[in-house]
Amino acid sequence: MAGSELTNIKAPRVKAAKRLAKRAFRDRDRAFLAEGPQAVREALALPEVTVELFTTAEAAARHPEIVSAARAAGVPVHPASGEVMAELAQTVTPQGLLAVCRFVHVPLAEAVTADARLVAVLAHVRDPGNAGTVLRTADAAGADAVVFTDASVDPYNGKCVRASAGSLFHLPVVTGVPVAGTVAHLRESGLRVLAADGAGKHTLDDVDLAGPTAWIFGNEAWGLPEEVLALADEVVRVPIYGRAESLNLATAAAVCLYASARSRRAE
């Protein structure tokens, strides 16, 4: 690779990137880290999202198409030593590619329009791994948008970005909006609002999922608070046929979103 290798973990460029592991700096710089070949590849597919790319010589040799794409897009590529990559990466075994990216979220009114047919809303979801997995699942199910309410985890958290497996760059993502305002906008856009919760009187088997639908998913431990349940048109639970006490958030979200996706394809 062209250019001298970064070997000093205290170099200004390295320190500036590393601080993006903290939300305060992400919010200030309006930038975040995308780690691994899948995330970097998807980021580079969006014009003007990637600010710079760090790569080890080994990773550049394994993924020359990613480095070439970065250079073709005018993205600065910084060769980095293994020690520098270990300092920047947020994984135990770094994959040798890490990009600094600009925020990609959009306003609610832009993400959810009258054309929307399926939307996922994360309310009071705190675990970044679960949130990223729901984002990935929503993308796979063909959702039109994913909304992170103001009480939920930051979608730019490193674990969330990794768990999304590049889906953060695939569909409109909204952040930091209040639940009540979100529900009002969903209804104005013609979507029925369903809350997924174990307290639901009706199961997923009993609910007609025809038509535009928004699903609200809640906290991993205690579900959705009463005030959020009261906002929904209906509270729906995923049926448990075996002896398991419950399903975790990401699994329940997958079941609900795919049920809606199947109904949508049958219309």
Residue 3 pLDDT exceeds 80: no
Confidence of residue 245 (pLDDT cuts 50, 70, 90): confident
CA 193, 113, 157, 255 dihedral sign is: positive
- CA 100 from chain center: how many Å? 16
Number of helices and strands in the chain (H, E): 12, 11
Q: Which residues touch 73 (CB under 8 Å, ≥6 apart)?
A: 44, 47, 50
Structural domains of the chain, ranges and CATH numbers in brackets: 12-102 (3.30.1330.30), 108-266 (3.40.1280.10)
Q: What is the pLDDT of residues 6-38, one digit of tens each?
A: 999 999 999 999 999 999 999 999 999 999 999
Burial tier of 29 (Cβ tally within 10 Å: 0-12, 13-18, 19+): middle
- Residue pair 184/211 in contact (Cβ under 8 Å)? The answer is no
The 10s digit of each residue's pLDDT in 150-201 is 999 999 999 999 999 999 999 999 999 999 999 999 999 999 999 999 888 8
Q: Where are the alpha helices (DSSP H) in the chain?
A: 12-18, 23-29, 37-44, 57-62, 64-72, 82-88, 108-111, 128-140, 158-164, 179-188, 226-229, 249-266
Q: Mind listing the pLDDT tens digit for each residue in 118-162?
A: 999 999 999 999 999 999 999 999 999 999 999 999 999 999 999
The pLDDT, as a whole number, for residue 1 is: 52
- Does residue 7 sit in helix, strand or coil? coil
Torsion-angle region of residue 95: left (phi > 0), alpha (psi -120 to 50) or beta?
A: alpha
Helical packing angle, 249-266 and 128-140, nearest 10°? 10
Q: What are phi and psi of 128, to 5 degrees?
A: -65, -30
CB half-sphere exposure, 264, CA atoms < 13 A: 18
Average pLDDT over residues 102-109: 98
Residue 266, pLDDT > 80, answer no
pLDDT in tens, 193-236: 999 998 888 999 999 999 999 999 998 888 899 999 999 999 99
Q: What is the pLDDT of residue 92?
A: 87
pLDDT surpasses 80 at 52: yes
What value does the mean pLDDT take over residues 256-267?
88
Paired tokens of 188:
């104005």
The CB-side HSE value for 49 (13 A sphere, CA atoms) comes to 21
